[in-house]
Amino acid sequence: MEYTGFIKEYDSTLSNKSIDYFFNSSDLNIDIVDKVVSYLSHGTSIVSWMHMIYDLYSNEIIGEGHGVDTDGVWFWPSYLPYYLRKYPDFLIENKFLDYLIQKNFSIDWNDKSIDIGKMENELFPRLGNVVK
């Protein structure tokens, strides 16, 4: 399983990358950002919990819940689409972007190799007290 887009200030058990790490990127083509956000929106939630999420720069409310989504291979935080839409220079990690391009930005939910139970078994111990 792979992880992308987790920010230490929100998810210290899943990332050691501070918000500033994600702003060392050059602007991406808006079409690519739109495709990535669309892809992320077609993932499925593997875990969520009530927790107000605020933009770390503007302090705007991002959402009233927080969670982790997946496509069966990658995990990403529920706040990732917000940051990609709001900040055009927000980093999309190369390994993840290459993966999306290879998949033509399409999730195949008919793929029998996707094992949500296995994914939960990997993710939940890393979340610590959040899901207990």
Task: Please give the chain's pLDDT, 132 residues, in tens.
Answer: 899 999 999 988 888 899 999 886 666 677 888 999 999 999 988 887 777 889 999 999 998 778 899 998 999 999 999 999 998 788 898 999 999 999 999 988 776 666 777 777 777 666 765 544
Note the pLDDT of residue 132: 42
pLDDT at 129: 55
Q: Computed from CA positions of residues 92, 96, 102, 104, in that sequence, does the dihedral angle turn out positive or negative?
A: negative
Return the pLDDT at 107: 87
Distance of alpha carbon 31 from alpha carbon 10, whole angstroms: 28
What global pTM score does this model have? 0.83
**Using CA atoms, how far apart are residues 40 and 32, in angstroms rounded to an integer?**
12
Dihedral sign computed on CA atoms, order 55, 49, 97, 126: positive
The 3-state DSSP class for residue 129 equals: helix
